[in-house]
Amino acid sequence: MASGSNSISSETLGKESEIFDRLFELDREDVGWIKRHIGDHIAACKAYLSERPPRWREALREAEEASIIAFAEGMGNIESKINFYIAHCYRGMGMWQQAHKFYMASTVDSQDIYWLQGLQAFSRQKLEGQRNPELRRKMSPDFTTRTTSQATYFEYKGRFSSMQLYKSGCSKKIPTWLGRVVSPMRV
């Protein structure tokens, strides 16, 4: 008798399962709220990165919070884009192993793919340089620089980036890697 009162029919289990599925189904409003919340964290991350000097740890905390939300909600396509911000923060802190890991897990728009590949190669070079001091003096075979009388170009697998560090004769500051600014190089 006790077993009969505690047993749950398959019909009841099926109905409960259906209710649970409906309760946790995200509608357009839920997805919009989640994306806004992620956007708020990314905006805070960008604000910390734009300060001079950048506040790397705070920016990293905000990017990781956005990543956690994206992961929890199953938004892998957004999470892989957030990885780029996380990698940038680790790079700024000189933590090349983590930077390389997150650059490799990043996705960007098609127009920025060569830039990402250059950053992946650069972080790999820095990581290898930390592991082997002799490699610090060598440049990765895929990632090289070429210097002309006008500028230094960064090249990745035969493709020049649009970034140039101008030599003498340029008085303004030139933006470079992800918003960092450098003064013109002296010859």
Integer Cα distance of 8 and 3 in angstroms:
10
Together in a domain, 38 and 101: yes
Judge whether 164 lies within some domain: yes
Together in a domain, 150 and 103: no
∠ Cα 37 40 46 (to 5°): 145
3-state helix, strand, coil in the chain (%, to 5): 60, 10, 25
- What is the reported pLDDT for 156? 45
Measured over the CA atoms of residue 99, residue 100, residue 104 and residue 108, the dihedral's sign is positive
Q: When comparing pLDDT for 175 and 57, which is higher?
A: 57
Q: Smallest Cα–Cα separation from 114: which of 154, 66, 58, 82?
A: 154
Judge whether 52 lies within some domain: yes
Q: When comparing pLDDT for 160 and 113, which is higher?
A: 113
Q: What is the mean pLDDT of residues 101-126?
A: 91
Judge whether 59 lies within some domain: yes
Judge whether 121 lies within some domain: no
Number of domains in the chain: 2
Judge whether 56 lies within some domain: yes
Highest mean pLDDT among 12-21, 94-103, 104-113, 123-132: 94-103
Which are the contacts of 110, defined by CB distance < 8 A and separation ≥ 6? none
Judge whether 21 lies within some domain: yes
Q: Which domain holds residue 168?
A: 143-182
Together in a domain, 43 and 95: yes
Distances from the Cα of 64 to the Cα of 27, 69, 105, angstroms: 25, 9, 14
Judge whether 67 lies within some domain: yes
* DSSP secondary structure code for residue 52 in this structure: S
Together in a domain, 93 and 170: no
Together in a domain, 87 and 164: no
Judge whether 7 lies within some domain: no
pLDDT tens column, 13-59 = 677 777 766 666 677 788 889 999 999 999 999 999 999 999 999 99
Together in a domain, 81 and 25: yes
- Indicate whether this model's pTM tops 0.95: no
